[in-house]
């Protein structure tokens, strides 16, 4: 994986529809699901982070502070085989 310096391309997350069962029946609502990323700071640190939507900043960075580069957080190469179902 290579570092990307295009800060406009950092994946922040997406809205997903969640379904819950309540005493009044099934309810659906939209919820923000952040994407995990690897960020490099100007002070030389590399951290796993995600977008905090309400605060409009990345976790580990102060308001108004930006990373200098980013990478996608890797995903398991075989997600269907990685489930935690008991034998």
Residues 22-52 have pLDDT tens digits of 999 999 999 999 999 999 999 999 999 999 9
At a CB cut-off of 8 Å and minimum separation 6, what does 47 contact? Answer: 38, 39, 41, 60
Do residues 73 and 11 touch, judged by C-beta distance below 8 A? no
pTM confidence score: 0.77
Each residue's pLDDT tens digit, 45-63: 999 999 999 999 999 999 9
User: Which pLDDT score is estimated for 75?
Assistant: 83
Q: What DSSP string runs through 32-75?
A: EEEPPEEEE-TTS-EEEE-EETTTTEETTS-TT---SEEEEPP-
């Amino acid at each position: 994986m290579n570092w990307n310096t295009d800060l406009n391309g950092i994946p922040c997350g997406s809205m997903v529809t969640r379904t819950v069962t309540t005493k009044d029946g099934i309810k659906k609502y939209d919820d923000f699901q952040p994407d995990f990323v690897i960020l490099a700071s100007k002070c030389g640190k590399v951290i796993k982070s995600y977008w905090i939507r309400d605060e409009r900043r990345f976790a580990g960075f102060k308001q108004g502070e930006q990373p200098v580069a980013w990478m996608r957080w890797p995903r398991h190469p075989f997600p269907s085989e990685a489930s935690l179902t008991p034998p």
